Amino acid sequence: MQIKSLPVKSCRSFQMNDTLSAEVCERLCWLELFRRLREEGCSEAIALAAIGWSRATYYRWRKRYLSDGSSGLCAKSRRPRHVPLSR
């Protein structure tokens, strides 16, 4: 079997960041703690109170983690997409 290489359009696509930022590690720890508390039999409300997150916050981070992995736990830009022109 012969494997042919594909042309690389950009080296940026192959750069991997092996170290996670502190905020990503913290969010991963909170998600893991929530999972453990739920496995031990705590209710959702008690587990979220222990973490200090609201229900909406937990589900937002969980959704981003499931769709994008650990890179989804990075803070996204808060810059508006469209800025009205000043006159």
pLDDT digits (tens, 9 = 90+) for 16-67: 455 778 899 999 999 999 999 999 999 999 999 999 999 999 999 999 999 9
Contact criterion met (CB below 8 Å) for 80 and 46: no
List the domain boundaries for the chain: 21-69
Q: How confident is the model at residue 18, as a pLDDT?
A: 54
Which of 17-21, 23-27, 75-79, 82-86 shows the lowest mean pLDDT across its residues?
17-21
pTM of full prediction above 0.85: no
Buried b (16+ CB within 10 A) or exposed e, 64-74: bbeeeeeebbe
Contact criterion met (CB below 8 Å) for 74 and 21: yes
CA dihedral 26, 27, 33, 38 (to 10 degrees): 170
Q: Can you tell me the distance from the alpha carbon of 75 to that of 16, in angstroms, rounded to the nearest whole number? A: 18
Would you say residue 6 has pLDDT above 60?
Answer: no
